[in-house]
Amino acid sequence: MSANLLIVDDEQMIRDLLCITLTRENYTCFQCSNADEGLLLIKNHDIDLALLDVMMPGSSGLELLKDLKKTKS
């Protein structure tokens, strides 16, 4: 069974490259361009691993990580 990965980065090219590479390794990738989208997605999907950009406009990846921990506990 493939793991579900969440990629949150404000740069489309970074998200695409990670998704292409990881999909070739049989991972299922979900992409978001900001923390709000990432939080909504993780509430609606079973995510095994999140790759978060630390510095994004609006909420940072670290702030998103704190919110993700709250939703999963």
CATH number of the domain enclosing 52: 3.40.50.2300
Largest CA distance in the chain: 35
Number of structural domains (the chain) is 1
What is the tens place of the pLDDT at every residue in 21-46?
Answer: 999 999 999 999 999 999 999 999 99
pLDDT band at 52 (very low <50, low <70, confident <90, very high): very high
Residue 23: domain span: 4-72
Three-state SS at 6: strand
How many CB atoms sit inside 10 A of residue 53's CB?
20
